Amino acid sequence: MVEEKFINEIATLVKKYASQYEINVYSPIIAQACLESAYGTSELARNAQNYFGLKYRKNRCPSAIGIYRKVGSEQNPDRTYTNSYMEWLRFPDMDACVKGYFDFTNTPAYKNLKNVTDPYKYLCNIKADCYATSLNYVDNLMNIIRKWNLTKFDIERDDKMSNSPLVSYTKLSPNHSGQRTHSIDRITPHCVVGQLTAEGIAACFPAGREASCNYGIGKDGKIALIVEEKNCSWCSSSNANDQRAVTIECASDTTHPYAMTDAVYESLINLCTDICRRNGKNTLLWFADKNKTLAYTPKSNEMVLTVHRWFANKACPGDWLYNRLGDVAKRVTNNLQGNTQKPSNTASGALYRVRKSWQDAQSQKGAFSSLANAKKCANENPGYSVFDGNGTAVYPASSSSTPSNSSMLYKVKVTVDALNIRSRAGTNHPIVGCIRDKGIYTIVSEQNGWGKLKSGAGWISLAYTQRV
Residues in contact with Zn ion by CB under 5 A are 190, 308, 316
Comparison of 308 and 422: residue with beta carbon closer to Zn ion? 308
| Pairing label, strands 81-90, 66-75 | antiparallel
Comparison of 37 and 241: residue with beta carbon closer to Zn ion? 241
Using alpha carbons only, give the angle 173, 178, 180 rounded to the nearest 5 degrees: 120
Comparison of 328 and 367: residue with beta carbon closer to Zn ion? 328
Q: In what order do the strands lie in the sheet with 352-355?
A: 366-368, 352-355, 385-387, 393-395
Residue 69: CB minimum distance to Zn ion, A: 59
Distance, in Å, from the CA atom of 33 to the CA atom of 366, rounded to the nearest integer, reads 46
Comparison of 33 and 304: residue with beta carbon closer to Zn ion? 304
389 near 350, Cβ under 8 Å? Answer: yes
Distance, in Å, from the CA atom of 399 to the CA atom of 415, rounded to the nearest integer, reads 34
What is the maximum alpha-carbon separation in the chain?
78
DSSP string, 251-283: -B-SSTT----HHHHHHHHHHHHHHHHHTT--E
Comparison of 142 and 316: residue with beta carbon closer to Zn ion? 316
* Residues 6 or more apart whose Cβ sits within 8 Å of residue 10: 30, 33, 34, 51, 94, 98
Residue 351: CB minimum distance to Zn ion, A: 26
Dihedrals φ, ψ of 116, to 5°?
-75, 140
Residue 33: CB minimum distance to Zn ion, A: 44
Alpha helices in 68-179 (DSSP H): 94-104, 119-128, 137-147, 151-161
End-to-end CA distance of the chain: 41
Distance, in Å, from the CA atom of 283 to the CA atom of 277, rounded to the nearest integer, reads 9
Per this entry, what is the length of the chain? 468
Residue 143: CB minimum distance to Zn ion, A: 51
Q: Distances in Å between the alpha carbon of 91 and those of 35, 36, 88, 377?
A: 18, 15, 10, 60
Comparison of 150 and 316: residue with beta carbon closer to Zn ion? 316
Residue 138: CB minimum distance to Zn ion, A: 48
387 near 355, Cβ under 8 Å? Answer: yes
Residue 292: CB minimum distance to Zn ion, A: 20
Residue 190: CB minimum distance to Zn ion, A: 3
Comparison of 132 and 192: residue with beta carbon closer to Zn ion? 192
Comparison of 94 and 321: residue with beta carbon closer to Zn ion? 321
Distance, in Å, from the CA atom of 185 to the CA atom of 246, rounded to the nearest integer, reads 8
Distance, in Å, from the CA atom of 277 to the CA atom of 282, rounded to the nearest integer, reads 7
Comparison of 128 and 240: residue with beta carbon closer to Zn ion? 240
What letters, b where the CB count within 10 A reaches 16 and e where it falls short, cover 421-431? Answer: bbbebeeebbb
Residue 432: CB minimum distance to Zn ion, A: 39
Comparison of 190 and 222: residue with beta carbon closer to Zn ion? 190
**Partners of residue 231 on adjacent β-strands:** 179
Comparison of 155 and 211: residue with beta carbon closer to Zn ion? 211
Residue 249: CB minimum distance to Zn ion, A: 7
Residue 160: CB minimum distance to Zn ion, A: 25
3-state SS class at 127: helix
Distance, in Å, from the CA atom of 319 to the CA atom of 105, rounded to the nearest integer, reads 50
142 near 119, Cβ under 8 Å? Answer: yes
Distance, in Å, from the CA atom of 348 to the CA atom of 338, rounded to the nearest integer, reads 8
Comparison of 86 and 315: residue with beta carbon closer to Zn ion? 315
Residue 369: CB minimum distance to Zn ion, A: 25
Residue 308: CB minimum distance to Zn ion, A: 3
